[in-house]
Amino acid sequence: MKKISIFDTTLRDGSQGAGISFSVEDKLKIASALDDFGVSYIEGGWPGSNPKDEEFFKLAKNKLKNSKLVAFSSTRRKNIKAKDDANINKIIGAGVKCACIFGKTWDFHVIHALNTTPAENLNMISDTISYLKSKNIEVVYDAEHFFDGYLNNPEYAVKTIETAIKAGAEIICLCETNGGMLPTDVQRIVKEIKEKFPYSKFGIHTHNDSGCATANSLIAVESGCEMVQGTINGLGERCGNANLCSIIPSLQLKRGYQCVSAKNLEKLTELSRYVYEIANLVPNDSLPYVGNNAFAHKAGIHVSAIEKNSKTYEHINPKKVGNERRILVSDLSGKSNIISKAGELQIGIDGKSEKIKEVIKAVKEKENQGYQYENADGSFFVLTKKIEKHCDNFFTLKGYRVIVEKNNNGKIISEATVKLDVNGREEHTVAEGDGPVNALDQCLRKALIKFYPEIKDVLLIDFKVRVINSNSDTAAPVRVLIESKDRKHTWGTIGVSENIIDASWQALADSVEYKLLKNKIENKK
């Protein structure tokens, strides 16, 4: 099994994506996760460019167990010696054993961006690599704009590669910097370069401006490259970098290359979501392999088929990348979806029961009103149990009121009042909150906790509002999705109403009912 080196540049190239700003602590956390995952190289940043990256290298030095820490920089400035270049000496001062140096391959850039001569650019490449090699530092040379340079002036582009190899660079990474190449172009050019330098090691670095970053990386490996540079989740400037979360499993599971251990590959989905969390970005549910919808099935025909054999609609076993199959319940659902979802949630409904038809009918009616159960398993669980008449009446709403007041100091105060019937007793509670929904949540808990102390473990962790029909302007119905968790589980609940407070109440009430139902079922076991 041939080994492919994975060079992660999430902390450097990935941080250049719009809306991304990693603190030093963020970078240390991601570096630790990447190290545990087992990538070959972790590019930490450019120590000569900002104090934050310099601080990161001070703290990260000698901390990695599995990966090589890499510092990034350009070749030396024109018309000086590498030993006199402050940026190059910052790399040496960072104490790393590997450097990634980028240099110009396209003579257009040499002349118009660097304002120097093609000959001096070659000197810059050679001098920089040779100097770092004299300090016993491994060098990965990034041939910037290589593919554009090769198409415009192949003789000069090849000369830059030859110069880097002679200077001692261990790996030459061919960079598709503008992201505009198509796979057939990349394939042809990589093969031509490999024929010219058959004994040298090459890598590939692609961007996604034409939507081909993953495909270009894969075809480059199959054409002879032994290293892939990319980022977790494809983060990066403009349209992003090559997505390692697609590249690694594609190479390993479909082409038999060794990128990380099989055991570590099962951590891929967890790593993807962790990086999204640290970056404070909403996860892309549609990402291949690791997205929340990557193995989600909605159409009844599909669900029926995968229940018989998962290969009918799944290209791999989701567990191999740490993901899981999701059966979605919607107005498209048939009997197969409901039975499968019931099994997943351990609802215990009999597949031959007439209640299945009632559940299907109820789901379709609810979805017609604007409900969506795809991310609201808790509400689907409660709905099903009520149809089965296996749902205790834990509490009944008699009424609620919410007041929002802004005082003369500019402070906004939300106060809620709730009346419930709990086991024949009326509970009348009042509570304040950071907002009207929080106030309602506090009221509900206050009324129920002496009857059901287990709800103290329930935390509301996410709250989303969607307008269902924007044509109705401010009278449009809204859909509220609430995500809750306790010490063991996470679940979603939903509410729909033309009043956002009422929709929120529905989702809050379902969340508590789900918790109480699950506790009752678990206690019976």
CATH code assigned at 78: 3.20.20.70
| Residue 279 belongs to a domain | no
Q: Based on the domain organization, do 330 and 465 belong to the same domain?
A: no
Predicted local distance difference test score (pLDDT) of residue 290: 95
**Residue 480 pLDDT more than 70?**
yes
Predicted local distance difference test score (pLDDT) of residue 328: 61
Q: Based on the domain organization, do 324 and 218 belong to the same domain?
A: no
Segment 79-87 long-range contacts (CB within 8 Å, at least 24 positions apart)? 79/116, 79/120, 81/127, 81/131, 82/127, 82/128, 82/130, 82/131, 82/132, 83/131, 85/128, 86/48, 87/46, 87/48, 87/49
Domain count, the chain: 3
- CA dihedral 361→330→375→263, nearest 10 degrees, is 120
**Residue 486 pLDDT more than 50?**
yes
- Segment 113-130 shows an average pLDDT of 96
Provide the H-helix boundaries in 376-479. 377-388, 436-448
CA distance readout (Å), 504 to 400, 432, 523: 12, 16, 29
> What is the C-alpha to C-alpha distance for residues 292 and 301, in angstroms, rounded to an integer?
21
Q: Based on the domain organization, do 113 and 252 belong to the same domain?
A: yes
**Which of the listed residues 333, 366, 388 is the one where a domain comes to its end?**
388
**Residue 248 pLDDT more than 80?**
yes
**Residue 134 pLDDT more than 70?**
yes
> What is the C-alpha to C-alpha distance for residues 476 and 515, in angstroms, rounded to an integer?
30
Tokens of 513: 């009912």
**Residue 14 pLDDT more than 90?**
yes
Domain residues for the domain of 478 are 396-524
Q: Based on the domain organization, do 441 and 372 belong to the same domain?
A: no
- Segment 122-146 shows an average pLDDT of 97
**Residue 521 pLDDT more than 90?**
no
Q: Based on the domain organization, do 88 and 236 belong to the same domain?
A: yes
**Which of the listed residues 260, 286, 317 is the one where a domain comes to its end?**
260
How confident is residue 471, by pLDDT bands cut at 50, 70 and 90? Answer: low
Q: Taking Cα atoms as reference points, which of 154, 177, 216 lies closest to residue 9? A: 177
CB 172 within 8 A of CB 141: yes
**Which of the listed residues 355, 370, 388 is the one where a domain comes to its end?**
388
Q: Based on the domain organization, do 330 and 470 belong to the same domain?
A: no
Tokens of 44: 């930490």
- Span of 139-143, 188-192, 291-295, 373-377 with lowest mean pLDDT: 373-377
Predicted local distance difference test score (pLDDT) of residue 343: 58
Q: Based on the domain organization, do 452 and 350 belong to the same domain?
A: no
**CA angle 343-262-295, nearest 5°?**
35
CB 497 within 8 A of CB 477: yes
- Segment 38-62 shows an average pLDDT of 92
Q: Based on the domain organization, do 351 and 403 belong to the same domain?
A: no
Predicted local distance difference test score (pLDDT) of residue 307: 66
Residue 255 has what DSSP assignment? Answer: S
323-360 per-position pLDDT tens digit: 987 766 654 455 555 555 555 555 556 555 566 677 77
| Residue 412 belongs to a domain | yes
- Span of 31-35, 346-350, 511-515 with lowest mean pLDDT: 346-350
The letter for the amino acid at 203 is G
CA distance readout (Å), 29 to 33, 59, 240, 265: 6, 11, 21, 19
- Segment 182-197 shows an average pLDDT of 97
Tokens of 258: 């060794």
How confident is residue 20, by pLDDT bands cut at 50, 70 and 90? Answer: very high
Q: Based on the domain organization, do 137 and 221 belong to the same domain?
A: yes
Q: Find the distance separating the first CA and the last CA of the chain, reported in whole Å.
A: 47
Predicted local distance difference test score (pLDDT) of residue 336: 54
Predicted local distance difference test score (pLDDT) of residue 80: 95
More confident residue, 428 or 331: 428
Predicted local distance difference test score (pLDDT) of residue 331: 46
| Residue 53 belongs to a domain | yes
Q: What average pLDDT does the chain have?
A: 88
| Residue 81 belongs to a domain | yes
| Residue 467 belongs to a domain | yes
Q: Based on the domain organization, do 194 and 177 belong to the same domain?
A: yes
| Residue 250 belongs to a domain | yes
Q: Based on the domain organization, do 240 and 319 belong to the same domain?
A: no
More confident residue, 385 or 307: 385
Q: Taking Cα atoms as reference points, which of 328, 296, 329 lies closest to residue 313? A: 296
| Residue 276 belongs to a domain | no
**Residue 301 pLDDT more than 70?**
no
How confident is residue 204, by pLDDT bands cut at 50, 70 and 90? Answer: very high
More confident residue, 326 or 471: 326
**Residue 430, domain CATH:** 3.30.160.270
- Segment 222-242 shows an average pLDDT of 97
Segment 385-389 long-range contacts (CB within 8 Å, at least 24 positions apart)? 385/347, 385/517, 387/355, 387/358, 387/359, 387/362, 388/349, 388/355
387-409 per-position pLDDT tens digit: 776 566 889 999 999 999 887 77
**Residue 131 pLDDT more than 50?**
yes
Q: Based on the domain organization, do 384 and 404 belong to the same domain?
A: no
| Residue 266 belongs to a domain | no
